[in-house]
Structure formats: structure tokens, C-alpha cells
Amino acid sequence: MQTILIKGKNRLSCEAFFQLLHKTPVIPALKTMNGLDKVLAGNSGIVFTLFGDIVTIPGIVKKIKGAGKSALVHIDLIDGLTSRDIAVDFLAENTEADGIISTKGNLISRAKACGLLTVQRFFVLDSMALINIEKHFAQDCSDAVEVLPGVMPKIIRKISSLTKKPIIAGGLISDREDIQAALEAGAISVSSSNISLL
């Protein structure tokens, strides 16, 4: 796995991240410590961390990285962090995280400036959300896009036609058929908190 040295920390390069996405059809999205050991013993090279707080997140990320996995932290879900640039600075300086996941454009921009990988998360709730996603691609600086819910192959196909960025489908993925449908529609990977699907 190709890493780059940023601020004294080995982090996954963008090119290596794309290669890893191609090899990782299902990305574990951990919401609690339950299942972490199983995920770390598994084959997935990427782990999305959707839990923790300002005190525990450095240790959680260290455990993931210690198992040879790439760690992306959903910064919006970490207790004690705000939606301001300083939250990204905290993760960059105090953890070994390879990157962040966020719905907030300002955090994505700051993470890129800090040398972190970025996944912009979009909730597609209606046609206006789809229009807003399309507008966003004109100024977007994220490395990849996560679309929720991930059980909408037609929408994934549409978003795939709007961007060359890797698309990750997430949310409401409940079985192998959901995974297959998302991948066939243009998603490069699927994120799931359902450990049985890994």
C-alpha cells in the first residue's frame, strides 16, 4: 500500500486510495466498538469510522492503522468536534487518519489543504437534492462521493454519469443483492455497518 508522509504521519495517497477502492467492494462502516476486531481481522483494506469522540478517536484510528487498514473518519459524527476547520486540523495533527468523510464542503476543503483524503457524503432525499449534487460537482474538491441511501441504482447511475469521481453507495444496504445492484449501477464500493455482509 502506497503511503505518503504528511505532517509526520504516513497516510494513504490518493492514487493508492483509488486502487484500494477497486479492491474493496464492501467497506465496513463501524458505528460502535462492537465488531472492530472482526473487521480488523477481515479482508477489507478500508474502514469507515462513524463513532467516537475527541478523546477516543486517536486510539480507534491507531488500532485500525495498526492492523494495516486505511482509516477514514466521519468527522460530522465525532462527539466534541465542530463543523469548523479546527476540527479537521485536530484530526490531522492528533490522529493517523488517512482522511475524512463529511457532508460539509468547508471541512472537505480544509481536509484537502491538510493533505487528507476526502469523501463527500450526499443524502439523496428528493429531486432537489439531486440537482444540488449536480451543482456541487462544479466546485467539488473531494476525492470520492458517498451517496445515501445506497439502494437506489437508478440514482447511482445518474450521479455516476455526472462525475468521474469514485462513487460509494451507503445506507440501507441489507443484503448481497443490494451490493450487486449498487456496483452494477456504477458504484465502485458499498459502505455498510452490517458486519455480516463483509
Task: State the pLDDT at residue 28.
Answer: 97
Give residue-wise pLDDT tens across range 68-77: 999 999 999 9
Q: What b/e string do you get for 178-187 counting C-beta neighbours within 10 Å, with b at 16 or more?
A: bbebbbebbb
- Could you write out the DSSP letters of every residue in 122-187? EE--SHHHHHHHHHHHTT---SEEEEESS--HHHHHHHHHH-SS-EEEESS--SHHHHHHHHHTT-
Residue 24 in 3-state DSSP? coil
Question: What is the rounded distance in angstroms from the CA atom of residue 74 to the CA atom of residue 47?
Answer: 11
This prediction has a pTM of 0.94
87's enclosing H/E stretch is: helix 85-94
3-state secondary structure of 48: strand
Using the 8-state DSSP alphabet, how is residue 42 labeled?
S
Domains annotated on the chain, with CATH: 12-197 (3.20.20.70)
For 29-41, write each residue's pLDDT tens digit.
999 999 899 999 9
Q: Which residue has the cell 486505511?
A: 70
